[in-house]
Structure 1
């Protein structure tokens, strides 16, 4: 037999209360003259207790369910989804039985979702821990809240970094790496490691995790990728040179044949135009090859003391820039010709970046034995993909009507900086644009 519903039970309770109240009123009215006041009060008290007991009996399932639901909700709030309510007992109102069934289904769904989430977190943690990209998650004060295996090996020789302070770790890290991690912009830096130069691409992002601000640092080794890209670049440049040589040699061969035919026929007056065309094609080919030869045959630098006024005056004769902050008190010590060529390439790239020409600037800063020359612009900067390949020889994003750039400007500047025992650093500016810095060491000898 089906148990009466909660609505039916409450209706019967109210009906019974009304009936008993009417009977009590009739009894009091008829027996008031014969009963004493004490007896009436006792009768009313007994009637009230009976009503309370009856109401408690009929509402007991609801109270038990509410207590059970309260306990389960508190468990869910604490993240414990293992609690489940007992199956409805015989005589339970159908509404409460349905509520228990739905609650059980909800608990089962939450437990399954929790298990799936735990499995996904385990999979994600396994992937993150074994990725070659070093990952750090830092709080605004610099405290590290997460570090994968690559980050621990790079910064702490495999030791745990959770709870450590990033600034304390960077005190023992290479200077270039420490400076790059303290700069909030994406950049490509060279770091000495095991006697060799290791290229790192550093990305930084701000995010909210569980309501708290965090800084995500990604350090990707680029040396192997750069080597692979260099091979692809050499293949590309061979194709470009073959194409350019064919485009020049084929007309020269044709013009030489035409000149020989004109000479055989005695039409000497037309030979001047033929020779002029041959000379033009040969001059174009020479100019094309000389650009690549200057990169391939970079001579060893001949450092010497360099006076800043004369050096900057010579640089201004070839390009336009704004000097920020003056120049160091001490003379520089480098190969003036090579550094001038590197700066000319960087300033030329800055002008071609698309920003206002008046915003192209050059700054000179001496930090002990390190000289930092920075060329900055207000162009669009570089995307992460372009920034990672910008120093590759023959890599260029220019697509102009004249055929685009050769991709040698930044690569040549990098070769010159490394020939001086320094390095080159690229970073997007926080308020727009790109900053390219040449860092030259050993300036104390000047």
Structure 2
């Protein structure tokens, strides 16, 4: 029997003892009437005293239990009952529950703090609406987007905030919108929420226009740095030589070899002007790449053709399965020529170059592998006009990537894992399987 129940039972029997004794005396003791009534009075007083004692023994532990439960109900998880008392396991269970609730509250507060910091650090505007589409939560980015104080926004409906239309339609879309705090192009996403058995909606607004403007500004800065570097490289010797020739022409009389000096100076000016013209022509070529005209291209025939074009060393072709891609054959060939030229120049004079193609999860991969020293330590290999080779134009890799991306593909350049050298990969999406007589089968295969 549990300790508390045993305590109640024994106390109850003790309370009943005086009454039982009084009944025995009245029934069996040979006392006169006065003594009997005195015994009855003593029994009544003893019973009352024992009843009060038993009441305190039973009720006071229950008061303690009630106090602990009330503290839990009020959210105070710091109180603990004394273990080993009359309530035994009940106090132990309540203490364990209080510890668990205290730990969960701490974890919840830490998670809420982390969530608040995360929302505050986001550039995206975040709105949370309840089931009546009334605003219940927003982050600082959302406040800046609406250009209003937080306390004025809480409780307003989505319609009053001008956001009701954004909660309708597709869950993800791009649109141009005018908010009180900003105009531009935004990525709009919304989703359903559920909290406390009630529904709600989450709205996230991301200013993609600003991101694009920042990327555009960074691209212009990179381009201007490259253009300024190249133009200065040509204008500096031209300016220096022009000053030398002007000084020579001002002499009177002219030296005997002035004609040779003038001829050499003019040749230098012409050479640098020609180099600057080639650079600007390369820039125009990169900037005016026409849209691709897709046709069916058989990779085996195209790769074999490219290998024959290279005369400086023998390019090994590692045959793969028959793959046909939809691409502009001229642009694809130009992109691969650029990759192949880089590989051959890196592998000369004693290395080798290998060409192969394969299928990889819905993509066609064309790989150019060389035995050269490996890729240079730079993150600017695909930046237009950046080059690590003397006399290089710096547009080969940039043009190859631009062509691949125009075909919804890409280009990567990485060091080989098995040996020194570079593995250049150009990938293109493979067309979905077509039924017999489909449009892809009717296209003339290019590359043979």
The answer, yes or no, to whether TM exceeds 0.5 is no
| Bigger radius of gyration among the two | 2
Higher-RCO chain (CA-CA 8 Å, sequence separation at least 6): 1
TM-score range, shorter chain: 0.3 to 0.5
TM (norm. structure 1) is 0.44
TM-score by length of 2: 0.44
